Amino acid sequence: MQRRKVTFKLYPNAAQSARLEAWTRLHCELYNAALEERIDAWRKAKKSISYYEQQNALPAIKADRPEFVELGSHALQQTLRRLDLAFAAFFRRVKAGQTPGFPRFKSAKRFSGFAYPDPAGWKLMGHGGRGATLRLGSGKDALFIRARGQHRFGSESKPNDLTLTRRNGQWFVSVTLRVPEEACARQRKADRCRGVDFGVTDWATFDDGQIIANPRWLREELPKLADLQRQRARKRRGSVRHGRLGQRVARLHDRIANLRRDFVHQETTRMVQQCAVLATEQLAPKNMSRSARSTEQEPGRRVRQKAGLNREILSAAFGMAHQMLAYKAEEAGTRLHLSDTRPLKPSQRCAACWEIVPKTLADRLHVCPHCGHVMPRDQNSALVVLIDANTPGTGVAARPKPLPRQRGKSKSVTRETLATTLCV
C-alpha cells in the first residue's frame, strides 16, 4: 500500500464555520497552555516535561473543561505532539549550530488548524468522485460538511489521517489515503527520451527546440498587488479597513499560488506521460535566489536587478517542478536523470564538441568557437543533460575528450524504476 495526500475544499455553513472556529480556538488554547507549562517547569525547577507527561494530563483537563470532550482525544494528542515536534526542531537546530527558533505562543488568528492522526473521530464519505462529505464527531452533535475535490485513486483508497486548515477565511482538509500499488501507477503514452532545461525566459526548453512559455502570473499581478499594498499602508494599523485590505492581498497571493501549482502539475504530468527517459539538471533555487545585498564596507552590485531576477526564479517554481517530477516519474515508470550541475556545467558546455564555452546570462545563443556549433542556449543545455543521461556520471563516453575527474563531488543522481530504458 502506498500513501498519497489529497486536499479538498470545505464549504461549511455559518453555524458549522463558527463551530470550527471555536474548536480551533480550543486547540490553540491547549497548545499555548502546554508551551507555558514547559517554559515554567524549566524556569522554576530546571525540569523538562515530555509529551507523554502532558498527554497523561488530558483526562483531567477534559474533566475540568467539558468543552474539550467533543474535540476528541486523538486530535488533542496531535496538538500536543505538534508542540513536541516544534521543540525537537528547536534542539536539532541548536545542536547543528544553526539559528534556532524557539516555539512561540500563537494567537487564535494565527493558529492554522488541527488534525486527526488516525481514522477515529471523523469519516470522509463519497470521496471517489468530484465531491465528498466530511463527518466530524459522532452522534447527534456530529458535523456533516460538504467538500469539493477530486483524486484519481478511486473508491478503493482508504483514508488514514486528516488535517483541517484555515487559510484566508476558507477551510481546507488534507487527507492521507492508503492506496493500492496498481492504483498509483500512471499510464505512459509514449517512450521518448528527452532532455529539458528549466529557465525564466521560457519555463522549459527541450532538446528538440520545443519550449513551454513562462506564464509569469506574479509579474502580471504586480501592479494590482502594489496598488493594494499602497492602500493598506495608508490605513491605520489594526483598523477594519487595514484588515480587509490585508485579506485582499492574501487572497491575491493565494490565487497566484493556485495558478502556479496547477500549471506545474499539468506540465509535469504531460512530461512523464510522454517520456521513458527524462533528463534535467539539479537546481538549487535557494542558492540561485540569494540576495545581492552585502555590508557597508563591501556593498552589493545591481541589488535591484538581482531582486527582480530572484522574484522571477522563485515564481517559476523549479523546486516544485522537481518534486513533482520525482514522484510522478516513479509512478509512470519513467527514468528521471538529474545531472550534477557543477562538474557538468550544462549551460556552459557545447553539446557538439563537449568544450566549455563561457557565457553570461545575457547571452541567449550558444556559439562554439571550437567547432562552430550554433544553437539556442537553453536547447543546448537540454541536449547536454540528455547526453549525460545516456552515460550517467559525467557523460564522457559520448565525447572524444573526457571531462577532468572531479574529486569530492557527487555524481549525477538517477531516479529510476526496475524497468529502465536507455536512449542510444
- More reliable by pLDDT, 130 or 41: 41
Write down which residue in 315, 333, 351 finishes a domain: 333
Tell me the residue range of the domain where 53 lies: 2-181
Are residue 218 and residue 163 in the same domain, yes or no? no
Burial class for 231, CB neighbours closer than 10 Å (0-12, 13-18, 19+): middle
Are residue 47 and residue 105 in the same domain, yes or no? yes
- pLDDT bin (cut points 50, 70, 90) of residue 182 is confident
Per DSSP, the three-state class of 35 is helix
Q: Which of 162, 172, 309, 163 is nearest to 254 (CA)?
A: 172
Are residue 233 and residue 306 in the same domain, yes or no? yes
Kindly state the average pLDDT of the residues 29-34: 97
Q: Cell for 423? A: 536512449
Residue type (1 letter), 97: G
Are residue 220 and residue 99 in the same domain, yes or no? no
Number of domains in the chain: 2
Kindly state the average pLDDT of the residues 371-385: 94
- Pair 152, 331: CB distance under 8 Å: no
Are residue 43 and residue 157 in the same domain, yes or no? yes
- Between strands 275-281 and 192-198, the pairing is parallel
Are residue 228 and residue 165 in the same domain, yes or no? no
Task: Tell whether 168 is covered by a domain.
Answer: yes
Q: How far apart are CA 407 and CA 380, in angstroms?
A: 26
Kindly state the average pLDDT of the residues 70-87: 96
Task: Tell whether 246 is covered by a domain.
Answer: yes
Per DSSP, the three-state class of 306 is helix
Task: Tell whether 258 is covered by a domain.
Answer: yes
Are residue 168 and residue 254 in the same domain, yes or no? no
Task: Tell whether 81 is covered by a domain.
Answer: yes
Q: What is the pLDDT of residues 297-327, one digit of tens each?
A: 677 788 888 889 999 999 999 999 999 999 9
What's residue 303's pLDDT?
Answer: 86
Are residue 17 and residue 78 in the same domain, yes or no? yes
- Give pTM, 2 decimals: 0.85
Give the position of cell 541548536.
Answer: 94
Are residue 130 and residue 226 in the same domain, yes or no? no
Task: Tell whether 219 is covered by a domain.
Answer: yes
Q: Give every CB contact of residue 345 below 8 A, 6+ residues apart in sequence.
A: 356
- Pair 229, 252: CB distance under 8 Å: no
Distances in Å between the Cα of 375 and the Cα atoms of 197, 278, 364 are 14, 21, 9
Are residue 255 and residue 323 in the same domain, yes or no? yes
- Pair 323, 396: CB distance under 8 Å: no
Write down which residue in 166, 181, 196 finishes a domain: 181
Task: Tell whether 198 is covered by a domain.
Answer: no
Are residue 108 and residue 40 in the same domain, yes or no? yes
Write down which residue in 133, 164, 181 finishes a domain: 181
H helices, E strands: number in the chain: 12, 15
Q: What's the mean pLDDT when you consider all of the chain?
A: 88
Task: Tell whether 204 is covered by a domain.
Answer: no
Task: Tell whether 355 is covered by a domain.
Answer: no
Are residue 73 and residue 171 in the same domain, yes or no? yes
- Between strands 275-281 and 122-125, the pairing is unpaired
Range in 225-239, 247-261, 288-302, 337-351 the model is least confident about? 288-302
Q: Which of 104, 101, 54, 61 is nearest to 79 (CA)?
A: 54
